[in-house]
Each structure stands twice: as structure tokens, then as C-alpha cells.
Amino acid sequence: MIIIDEELCKGCHLCLFMCYKNVYAISPDVNKKGVQLPFVKFEDRCTKCGTCEIACPDQAITVDLPENWWMKDDNELNFNPNFTKGKK
């Protein structure tokens, strides 16, 4: 599940350009700030890599990952295994 906070998003569309799976599209509607916001058009394509969340300068995107994915069972740091599934 991908959540875009409409109050934080300024419509830069970096998420659209950074997503290698083309999950996002630009809304034809304009919000109260006069911005065409991105929206999740193809959520089934999402690999939850987190690139859009990292690229967002306004921290308006949250990619739903399992709670505490960054911690292993022995309380050591783990690396997001989906992060490396991008284009090579």
C-alpha cells in the first residue's frame, strides 16, 4: 500500500520519474493548491523498493513495509531486500 499525503505533496512528480515500475500517474484534477498530484495507478506493479519514498523531497510518500523490516531477529540492522530489485 502506497500513501501520498496530499497536504505535504507539492506536485514535483519525482516519484513518477523515479519509479522504474511506472506505478504512478498524474491526476488530471487540480487540488486546492492548484497542483496536479501524482496518484497510484498500478499498485500491483509496486515492488515496495522505497525509491519513491526516498526521492520525495517533502516526505509525502509512505510505502507500507512490514513493521521494523530493518531489524533482524537478533536486533542487528538488516537491509531492505526489495531495494536492490531496480534496473541494473
Q: Report the CATH number that the domain containing residue 37 is assigned in CATH.
A: 3.30.70.20
Helix locations, the chain, DSSP H: 14-18, 51-55
In a domain, 22, yes or no: yes
In a domain, 53, yes or no: yes
Q: Could you tell me the three cell numbers for 40?
A: 497510484
Give the position of cell 513495509. 65
CB 80 within 8 A of CB 70: yes
Q: What is the domain range of residue 28?
A: 2-63
CB 50 within 8 A of CB 65: yes
**SS3 assignment for 66-78:** CCCCCECCCCCEC
In a domain, 68, yes or no: no
* Tens-level pLDDT at each residue, the chain (88 residues): 888 999 999 999 999 999 999 999 999 999 888 999 999 999 999 988 889 999 999 999 988 766 555 555 665 555 555 555 544 4
